[in-house]
Chains A and B, each alone.
Chain A
């Protein structure tokens, strides 16, 4: 089973565009990342720039609107994620409990959908997936 552990740091929704974590926080996080890697569970990870650098493209009644961040209505924002492979939902939660998150941070644990679990018609609709960019990268 694959899970995404999503980091929701407190206050990230209003963080300045050039906000960077402290060296100390990064060092702690690297120690954790290394642990995930040594346990063989880590598949991917990334950190995201603050929402103040982001844009939202919204669709309404056939109209498309682009809004630049930060987004006043947002109560929380994603700071980054890990994708891990474990045997159970409990396993993912236990790894999330070991994240060196700062005060008031949240880690949301979400299972990743596997295409093989879809019914036949959905699988059919997913045909041509091999032409998507990540597959192209695989062939590079």
Chain B
């Protein structure tokens, strides 16, 4: 990409959210707003390389969008009236639309941006559509950037966005901020979209996947935006805290060969301590807002226990168990219960850990989940039951295709098998 295109893309990332929110303020339809904004971007890509970046790029883009909007209005009306003449009424409408859009950029308020995000994360949309549309309208990512981040062809991603916009329009989703009980549900939807974006990036640990890792930063930016837009929502702060604390470990999560390094083995000097402090500050804000027992705040509090420990051995596992107990109250889930069993194993020893794990044995949601046998394998290893551990690790390997996870599991399995052989003579459990 040429320098001017990179600059235009950078301008777009700064201005597009307010631009789309401003247009949607007039059109009340984010699909139309997003299309008009895109057409303005196309115009910029055509003209700015020759004319240079305008002094007020946002105003330039709004003017370009306005022209397209008036054109569209005229075309739509002409079609409607077939060969009828353009009436005074239409001229009047064009003028009104033009004036409204001229004012929109100056008038755009935080609520417009918030409405934009609420609409993009609307529960009526498929989850993948929510993610794509949010990255597009709230982060200013191009279709190409989103496609690369999600490892799908650009065309597929374009269709996803198209379908999402069509759905919003067909379902007559109003451009508004939800109120009352609906607000709670919609905030949850927004937060889950942000956290899904974060996790898309966070699970991509390998060096060649840095495109995806950038999604973590995008999610963090969204989280900080939301913290400004919804200052009274403790769970926004909780999610921000969780993401900051998890992202603070990024540099330590891969070894020099790109291999995954798990929490206990991480070089903690590589953790980003300024980021940890930001996470801790967000967690304190969540607690101050009375949301210490919220889903994200509790997960953040668990992450904070790890962040506070100078070494893996210093980790306050007793506290982590208590936090998981609380988390199970607000968000009962087999995965949380599994994580709790790991914490119990650390706090009270592998026997207690195995007991907690046994309680989950019949859980259908975990039937094909590779981490269940993997955790079991770890605990059995600690108890010196190497042959059983090998079996569990083998089961776990058969359940995952993730290259990095397979590497880790294979390494453990090899260890377990060597130890099983060495102990074969005196392994009384077999």
Contacts and interface: CB of A to CB of B under 8 A. Distances in A.
Interface of A: 1, 37-44, 85-88, 90-91, 93-95, 98, 114-116, 120, 123, 126-132, 134-135, 137-139
B271 A40 contact: no
B273 A40 contact: no
Contacts of B276: 135, 138
B73 interface: no
A123 B14 contact: no
A86 B250 CA distance: 17
B269 A85 contact: no
A85 B221 contact: yes
B274 A127 contact: no
B75 interface: no
B7 A39 contact: no
Contact of B270 (A90, A93, A123): A123
Interface string B105-127: 00000100100000000000000
B225 A39 contact: yes
21 contacts: A38-B225, A40-B220, A40-B222, A40-B224, A42-B224, A43-B278, A44-B274, A86-B10, A87-B13, A87-B217, A88-B6, A88-B10, A90-B10, A91-B13, A95-B14, A98-B14, A120-B256, A123-B267, A130-B271, A134-B274, A138-B307
Interface in B264-301: 267-274, 276-278, 280
Interface centre among A37, A40, A114, A116 (most CB of B within 10 A): A40
Given A41-B221, A43-B278, A128 B269 contact: yes
Contacts of B277: 134, 137-138
A87 B214 contact: yes
Contacts of A138: 273, 276-277, 280, 307
Residue with the greatest number of chain B CB neighbours at <10 A, chosen from A1, A134, A135: A135
Given A114-B251, A123-B267, A40 B13 contact: no
B223 A40 contact: yes
Interface in B212-248: 214, 217-218, 220-225, 228-229
A85 B10 contact: no
A84 to B, nearest CB: 10
Contact of A135 (B217, B218, B273, B278): B273
A38 B110 contact: yes
Interface string B1-38: 00100110111011001000000000000000000000
Contact of B10 (A40, A91, A116, A129): A91
A44 B271 CA distance: 18
Contacts of B273: 129-130, 132, 134-135, 138
Nearest to B240: A40
A90 B5 CA distance: 10
Contact of B220 (A38, A85, A95): A85
B319 interface: no
B308 interface: yes
Contacts of B93: none
A112 B225 CA distance: 22
4 shortest interchain CB distances as A-B pairs: A116-B251, A40-B221, A40-B224, A90-B10
A120 B251 CA distance: 12
B225 A40 contact: yes
Interface in B367-392: none
Contacts of A131: 310
A120 B267 CA distance: 12
Max chain A CB contacts within 10 Å: which of B217, B250, B256? Answer: B217
A90 B6 contact: yes
A116 B223 contact: no
